[in-house]
Structure 1
Amino acid sequence: MAAAGEASGGRDKYRSFMYGEGEKDTVWRLGSPPNYDVVNKLFEEERTKEWPEGSLEEKVQRLLKTWEMELIHKVRPEDQKSVHSQKFCASTNGESYSLRSACTKLPPEHRIYDPDKETLESGMATFLTAFPRGFAIEVLDVYSGPPRIVFKFRHWGYMEGPFKEHPPHGKRVEFFGICIFHVDEEMKVEKTEYFYERGNFLASFLSTPAAAAAAAEAASGSGCPILVSDKKWRILLKEEGQELLGGWCEAIRIKLNQVRPHVLPA
């Protein structure tokens, strides 16, 4: 695995393949490399692990952050140096499918993310409005090294802005999970497998819409919007026979699946 900072030219502490001669022809989604200064600050202030440079854990964490950056911000698959452009696919909780179908199965009024109305850019803007400091990610443990890297991660941020009709509460929103990266001899990711509890993440930042809040409170006997919302969503999802795939990564993957079908095979 590449040493920390080796490919990045030292311009970002935690991600490779953003600057330097190797990126001179890269097509960036927003016209230039993203700036991670704000979320890096959140990461440094609140991470629970600080891995030594060059350790397996630090290298896996760098690969994770680089992989996420390249998938979201580099338009052309051939520019994504941490991703195998021909083989890459992903699964969540043991299922490999189009996340678009999982979201659009819900009635329009209950969709947290509607790919029929959102672009990747508008989805990013919506998320950054709700989480202006971004969503930090850290590797907590690494259980095995390449070619099948298994690790535990923590993903968190603060909801300091509105998320569509849901008001901000200023509290930390986070979730934990296990991820498996299948990599080739060049450390390019061929497949990712994510395992995490989705409902808790969803419930931690969604509140009931204002129009339904009073009725929901009366029906539940609880004044807590998160508890009300969680119960409401779980009933809806049970009736639909689907789990709602909440969170930023899920929204991004839905749109990526539209423009790059092999990312999430049906």
Structure 2
Amino acid sequence: MSGSWGIGCLASDVTKARQELEKLKKDTGYLEPERGNLDDPNIEWKYGKPDYTMVNLEYMKGKTKNHLTGSLELMVENFVKRWETESAHFKELDQWSTINRAKYHVQANGGKVFNAEESDGVGSYNWLMWDCKKELYDAEKQDFESSLRQFRGAFPKGFPWEVLEVSSGPPTIAFTWRHWAQFTGQYMGRQGNGQLIEMCGSAVVELDKNNKIVSIQIDYKPEEFLKALLGETSNYPRESEPSTEMESVCPMCPNVKSVV
């Protein structure tokens, strides 16, 4: 869930981020993610039209891959980001363009299967972490809005996401992915100190003949991600151990470093 975040940001912050983003695109040739026509006046938004400026900038600055125009990897990345926009921000399921509503179902780590209405009701964070250990995250005690508050509060500038590798194309798309952010906000009352929080995983997405999503199967290890936010792992520097460069601790992630 990359998220159109920028919690607590002023309009001037977004304007500055847009200027930096445009310069970065010009200097590097990077492509800004495509999420569909967000200016469509017919869209009914849950909380208003999203603005992805802040998270797009973080994505550009922190991604490890630069997928070429026309590549399967870029197609999959943009398709997933469009689905994310719809699942996070569209008020009406009937307006989702990415799914076959009648057949759509999602599952994480071989756990509970959610259909379209159920997954939309609980929100992506909750179905993705439904079977986590309750002491780390009890999804049954969260709802769509409370889960968003928790993770948006942890990552005020957004939670970027990228495709790493695609091993098969439509109708069965199998790929690996990476999610990351700087923990500068608060999670469950714990203040972050800017450390890199990162997780990786794999996904298998089944499409129908019209290229609509029928199913999503996600496999990843949420426990280390949650422990890092809660300060329960020795793999991340503590506030008494300042560091400007932190390496990924996710066993599925590439060995990359991010400057904080």
Structure 1 distance, partners of 2:192, 2:101, is: 38
Contact 1:155 1:175 survives alignment (8 Å): yes
Contact 2:130 2:139 survives alignment (8 Å): no
Match of 2:137 in 1: 112
Structure 2 counterparts to residues 14-29 of structure 1, below 5 A: 14-20=33-39, 23-29=40-46
Structure 2 distance, partners of 1:178, 1:111, is: 22
Contact 1:84 1:188 survives alignment (8 Å): yes
Structure 1 distance, partners of 2:113, 2:204, is: 17
Structure 1 distance, partners of 2:106, 2:139, is: 20
Structure 2 distance, partners of 1:90, 1:101, is: 12
Match of 1:215 in 2: none
Contact 2:207 2:214 survives alignment (8 Å): yes
Aligned residues: 193
Contact 1:17 1:81 survives alignment (8 Å): no
Structure 2 gaps of 5+ residues are 1-30, 115-126, 237-260
Superposition deviation, residue 114 in structure 1: 5.5
Contact 1:28 1:73 survives alignment (8 Å): yes
Given the alignment of the two structures, is residue 56 of structure 1 paired with residue 72 of structure 2, yes or no? yes
Structure 2 counterparts to residues 36-185 of structure 1, below 5 A: 36-97=52-113, 99=127, 102=131, 106=134, 110=135, 112-113=137-138, 115-116=140-141, 118-185=142-209
Superposition deviation, residue 187 in structure 1: 1.7
Contact 2:112 2:130 survives alignment (8 Å): no
Given the alignment of the two structures, is residue 199 of structure 1 paired with residue 199 of structure 2, yes or no? no
Give CA deviations for 1:139-191 in whole Å, capped at 9, x if unaligned: 01010000000001001111101112222131011111110110112221110
Structure 1 gaps of 5+ residues are 1-11, 208-224, 230-266
Which letter does structure 1 place at the counterpart of 2:33? Y
Structure 2 distance, partners of 1:67, 1:90, is: 13
CA shift in 2, pair 1:95/1:123, >3 Å? closer
Percent identity of equivalent pairs: 28
Superposition deviation, residue 54 in structure 1: 1.5
Q: Which has the larger radius of gyration?
A: 1
CA shift in 2, pair 1:185/1:97, >3 Å? closer
Which letter does structure 2 place at the counterpart of 1:24? P
Structure 2 distance, partners of 1:191, 1:97, is: 10
Contact 1:40 1:136 survives alignment (8 Å): yes
What is the RMSD computed on CA atoms of the aligned residues? 2.5
Partner of 2:86: helix, strand, or coil? helix
Give CA deviations for 1:73-131 in whole Å, capped at 9, x if unaligned: 1111111101211111111122334658746x84xxx4635554x54234323322210
CA shift in 2, pair 1:189/1:166, >3 Å? same
Partner of 2:51: helix, strand, or coil? coil
CA shift in 2, pair 1:167/1:112, >3 Å? farther
Question: In proportion to residue count, which structure has more strand?
Answer: 2
Match of 1:213 in 2: none
Superposition deviation, residue 13 in structure 1: 3.3
CA shift in 2, pair 1:96/1:121, >3 Å? closer
Question: In proportion to residue count, which structure has more helix?
Answer: 1
Give the ranges of 4+ consecutive aligned residues of structure 1 lying more than 3 Å apart after TM superposition: 96-103, 110-116
Which letter does structure 2 place at the counterpart of 1:29? K
Structure 1 distance, partners of 2:35, 2:226, is: 31
